[in-house]
Chain A
Amino acid sequence: MSLRVDDLKVYYRTLRGDVQALDGVTFEIADGEIMGLAGESGCGKSTLGKSLIRLDGRMRHVGGSVTLDGKQLPLGDDRAMNAFRFKSVSIVPQYAMSALNPTRKVGRIAEELLESRGIHFDGVRPELVRRLELVGLSKDVLGMFPIELSGGMKQRTVMVLSTLLNPSLLIADEVTSALDVSSQRAVAEMLVEFRERSYVKSMVFITHDLAILYQAADTILVMYAGRLAEKASSDAVISRPKHPYTQLLVSSLPEVGVRYADRRLEGIPGKPPSLLEPPQGCRFRDRCPLAFAKCAEQPPFVEVEPGHRVACWAVT
């Protein structure tokens, strides 16, 4: 499978104007690649994840295209996208584990989900049970109500349900953020396991936590203020970041082993620009220690090394 996103623009319509949440984003994901999508609040990563499968209420597809396995996805058309959802592209949305209908047993939720896609539940049930057992849940889970399950269990259930039809692309939106440390590792490893067993071909793993991405993702795409900053293998992004934002971000992460008494970490002063009226040129300019005159022009997202792309004039 392959995913190609070309100059994608998605804006939010608000009373005060258009929030340019995603402003011309271009990248590819190869077959079997787990791409981590990282960035801070307002960078557009959740918007990107959601626009690949369903634009909600106030989102507007303003430009650009998304091509999955050679077919262009009709992003703007909700009904036409229905044919792709769940079968080709699937999502585990943020707060998914809180979104299970509390008045339904898990088995019923699964049944309704599949029937709504025209899939006969009984035919798929054995596979569903097999997968639940793979992730450490017994088939009794199907007869339980969501409230009887713990956070980690709910998250695993939702992930099994989302990938039941072996989608080409899975979008995992902050699936580990609300979990305890011990469950986080289990869920992150589960994502990789799904890819190993071909339940899912490729994945977009959205999170703010770079460390988890280092563990579970093949490549990391760093976003800032609606634009792409850097994309490279997870090793490269963590050990040899090129974009100043990535560099500052990685160096601000505390790690077990690093203590304040030994080495004081620094953050990034300032805050991201408003996306209602974003600044011209590179959006990181105001906070960037390397900014110079050329930064008034938006840098292109180009390959500076094989498999390593950056959008920064100081690098290219």
Chain B
Amino acid sequence: MAAPRDLEPATVPQAGVATVGGPAVAVEPQAAAGAPVPAHRSEFVYFALRNWKFVLGLGVVLVFLAAALFGPMIASHAPLEFSGPTDQPPSSDYWFGTTSFGQDVFAQFVHGLRAAFLVGAVGGGIAWVLGAVVGFTAGYRGGAIDDVLNMLTNVVLVIPTLAILIIVSAYMNVHSYAVEAVLIGLTSWPWAARAVRAQTFTLKTRDFVDVARLSGRSTRQVISSEIAPNMSSYLLMMFILLFGGAILIGASLDFLGLGPSESVSLGLMMNNAFLSSALVLGSWWWFLPPGIGIIGIVGGLYVMNVGLDEVFNPRLRET
């Protein structure tokens, strides 16, 4: 039996769900409990821009993005070209110095940033799409379909991804970052699928799904027009995490020397630096930029996400 929902503020809040504005203002609506932010774009922007974590994270990522987009245009040398003296510290010719092979570290760095964003976007994007499709289908359809998809998800989840990627990379001789990104995408979707499935389960029981069915909507239409919009904040944050995660995995693979060797990436830079004993030789200009690059982008994304969480879920805000 339910008490009139319109009883005062005491409704049990649900995690991961947002309301904007304070508790019930006298009249019935405690609708907020259980509902994400209505599509008040302006309200979202207002709160987002006032959240220092979001702004800081976004700022850092945008700086690196700008460097990735414009850096290669202003770099004076090609990244792999043995253009100059070896092991030079930063100077006016070579802003980030040179490697022990005489390559321009700055050029490598900005090209590496490009590769990083590519891997993040493609790898993260694929994982996102796969995770969302599997999660929505399993969550909404339930029953046998759910059991099967669940098993599939758990299997892929349990497989040691890095090991698989190492093996595949070793045999496949990965030639481009796009391929690497695809491989990453195909192995990092399970946790996203589980999260989406759980949220879908909750949303499925809401009456508006029934009302949509009673309006003649098909399963696919219900998922895309009713359920997904309610999870928009969640899906956005999930994408950001997958993006960052893909970059990290990509950098790890490259560091292990399993990424494409004919181009440049941050991980590969660090690998080369390590192999050339840059640490011992004190060539900090070689390994520091890629390291900061990776930490900066991934860290910035995560901090942005924490900020977004606070924007979407006012209960987390410190008022």
Contact = CB atoms under 8 A, between A and B. Distances in A.
Contacts of A93: 10
Which of the four size classes fits the interface of chain B? 10 to 19
B3 A174 contact: yes
Given A14-B23, A58-B23, A95 B9 contact: no
A249 to B, nearest CB: 14
B2 A19 contact: no
Interface stretch (B25-33, B213-221, B227-235): B25-33
Interface in A241-279: 271-276
Given A42-B6, A46-B7, A208-B4, A12 B22 contact: yes
B3 A208 contact: yes
B27 A58 contact: no
Interface residues of A, number: 34
A15 to B, nearest CB: 5
A94 B2 contact: no
A276 B25 CA distance: 7
Given A42-B27, A275-B26, A276-B25, A12 B1 contact: no
Interface string B217-261: 000000000000000000000000000000000000000000000
Interface stretch (A129-137, A162-170, A175-183, A185-193): A175-183
A252 to B, nearest CB: 14
A282 B319 CA distance: 33
A47 B23 CA distance: 13
A47 B27 contact: no
Contacts of A95: 10, 12
A16 B27 contact: no
A15 B4 contact: no
Contacts of A15: 21-22, 319
Contacts of A110: none
Chain A interface SS verdict (over half): loop
A98 interface: yes
B166 interface: no
A39 B2 CA distance: 17
Contacts of B22: 12-16, 19, 58
A165 B155 CA distance: 54
B56 interface: no
A296 B21 CA distance: 31
Nearest to B30: A41
Nearest to B2: A178
A59 to B, nearest CB: 9
A177 B8 CA distance: 14
Interface in B69-99: none
A286 interface: no
Contacts of B2: 177-178
A225 interface: yes
Interface string A78-112: 00000000000000011100100000000000000
Interface string B16-42: 000001111111100000000000000
A181 to B, nearest CB: 8
A225 B25 CA distance: 11
B26 A273 contact: yes
8 closest A-B pairs by CB: A14-B22, A41-B6, A177-B3, A42-B26, A275-B26, A46-B8, A94-B10, A41-B28
Interface of B: 1-4, 6-10, 12, 21-28, 319
Given A41-B4, A177-B4, 15 more contacts: A12-B22, A14-B22, A14-B23, A19-B22, A19-B24, A41-B6, A41-B28, A42-B8, A42-B27, A46-B7, A58-B23, A177-B1, A178-B3, A208-B4, A272-B26
